[in-house]
Structure 1
Amino acid sequence: MKIVDAQIQTERTSLKRPFKTAVRTAFDIQSLIVKITLENGITGYGSGVATEKVTGDSLSGMKNILEQLLFPSILGKEIENIAENEMIIQTSCIGNTSAKAALSIALYDAYAKLLKVPLFQIFGGRTNSLINDMTISLNEPDEMVHDAIKAVEQGFSILKIKVGNDPQKDLERIQAIYDHLGDNIVLRIDANQGWSAKEAIKIIGEFESRNFPIEFIEQPVPQWDFDGLKFVRERVNIPIMADESVYSAKDAIKIVNKKAADLINIKLMKTGSLLEACKIASIAETAGIPCMIGCMMESSLSVLAAAHLAVAHPNIKKVDLDSPLWLNDHKVDRYFRNSQIHLEEIPGIGFHPVSQ
Structure 2
Amino acid sequence: MKITQIDTYRTSVPLHTPFKTALRTVHEAEAVIVKVTCDNGMTGWGEAPPTVVITGESLSSIEAAIQQVITPVIIGSDLLDYEKLFQYIHSCIIGNSSAKAAVDMAIYDCLAQNSGLPLFKYLGGYRNELETDYTVSINSPEQMGEDAEAYVAQGFHILKIKVGKDDASLDIKRIQEVRSRVGNGITLRLDANQGWGTKEAISAIRKMEDLDLGIELVEQPVPAWDIKGLKCVTDGVDTPIMADESVFSPQQAFDVLKTRSADLINIKLMKSGGIYQAEKINAMAELCGVECMVGSMIETRLGITAAAHFAASKKNITRFDFDAPLMLAKDIVKGGILYSGRKISLPAKPGLGVNHIEGLGKGKENE
TM above 0.5: yes
1:322 Cα shift?
A: 0.7
2:325 is aligned with 1:348: no
2:222 is aligned with 1:221: yes
1:353 Cα shift?
A: 4.5
Where does residue 164 of structure 1 map in the other structure? 164
1:329 Cα shift?
A: 2.7
Q: Which moved more, 1:279-288 or 1:298-307?
A: 298-307
5 Å matches for 1:282-293? Answer: 282-293=283-294
Instruction: Give the counterpart letter for 1:147 in structure 2.
Output: D
1:42 Cα shift?
A: 0.4
The answer (yes or no) to whether the contact 1:11–1:30 under 8 Å persists in 2 is: yes
5 Å matches for 1:97-246? Answer: 97-166=97-166, 167-246=168-247
The answer (yes or no) to whether the contact 2:160–2:191 under 8 Å persists in 1 is: yes
CA distance in 2, matches of 1:303, 1:214: 26
Where does residue 303 of structure 1 map in the other structure? 304
CA distance in 2, matches of 1:10, 1:58: 11
CA distance in 2, matches of 1:178, 1:149: 9
Q: RMSD of the TM alignment (CA)?
A: 1.3
Where does residue 320 of structure 2 map in the other structure? 319
Instruction: Give the counterpart letter for 1:62 in structure 2.
Output: I
Where does residue 92 of structure 2 map in the other structure? 92
1:146 Cα shift?
A: 1.1
CA distance in 2, matches of 1:265, 1:127: 19
SS, match of residue 357 in structure 2: coil
2:74 is aligned with 1:74: yes
Label 1:196 to 1:347 Cα distance change in 2 as closer, same or farther (>3 A): same
1:182 Cα shift?
A: 1.9
2:341 is aligned with 1:338: yes
CA distance in 2, matches of 1:82, 1:250: 21
Where does residue 36 of structure 2 map in the other structure? 36
The answer (yes or no) to whether the contact 2:125–2:313 under 8 Å persists in 1 is: yes
CA distance in 2, matches of 1:302, 1:327: 13
CA distance in 2, matches of 1:332, 1:176: 39
The answer (yes or no) to whether the contact 2:334–2:356 under 8 Å persists in 1 is: no
Q: Deviations over 1:121-167 (max 9, x none)?
A: 12111221001100001111111111101110111110000000121
The answer (yes or no) to whether the contact 1:185–1:213 under 8 Å persists in 2 is: no
Instruction: Give the counterpart letter for 1:135 in structure 2.
Output: T
Instruction: Give the counterpart letter for 2:319 in structure 1.
Output: K
1:352 Cα shift?
A: 3.6
5 Å matches for 1:11-26? Answer: 11-26=11-26
The answer (yes or no) to whether the contact 1:6–1:35 under 8 Å persists in 2 is: yes
Instruction: Give the counterpart letter for 1:240 in structure 2.
Output: I
SS, match of residue 44 in structure 2: strand
5 Å matches for 1:31-70? Answer: 31-70=31-70
SS, match of residue 93 in structure 2: coil
CA distance in 2, matches of 1:198, 1:61: 37
5 Å matches for 1:268-283? Answer: 268-283=269-284
Provide structure 2 residue ranges, at least 5 long, that are not aligned to the other structure.
Answer: 361-367
CA distance in 2, matches of 1:83, 1:203: 45
1:81 Cα shift?
A: 1.6
Provide structure 1 residue ranges, at least 5 long, that are not aligned to the other structure.
Answer: none
CA distance in 1, matches of 2:40, 2:342: 38
The answer (yes or no) to whether the contact 2:301–2:325 under 8 Å persists in 1 is: yes
1:354 Cα shift?
A: 2.2
Instruction: Give the counterpart letter for 1:2 in structure 2.
Output: K
CA distance in 2, matches of 1:62, 1:181: 40
Instruction: Give the counterpart letter for 1:213 in structure 2.
Output: G
CA distance in 2, matches of 1:332, 1:245: 34
Q: TM-score, normalised by structure 1?
A: 0.98
Q: TM-score, normalised by structure 2?
A: 0.95
Where does residue 365 of structure 2 map in the other structure? none
The answer (yes or no) to whether the contact 1:19–1:26 under 8 Å persists in 2 is: yes
The answer (yes or no) to whether the contact 1:242–1:264 under 8 Å persists in 2 is: yes
Q: Deviations over 1:310-356 (max 9, x none)?
A: 11011111111111110123347961222001111101111245269
Q: Which moved more, 1:137-146 or 1:239-248?
A: 137-146
SS, match of residue 237 in structure 2: coil
CA distance in 2, matches of 1:269, 1:76: 25
Where does residue 363 of structure 2 map in the other structure? none
The answer (yes or no) to whether the contact 1:137–1:162 under 8 Å persists in 2 is: yes
Q: Deviations over 1:159-194 (max 9, x none)?
A: 000000121110110000111122110000000000
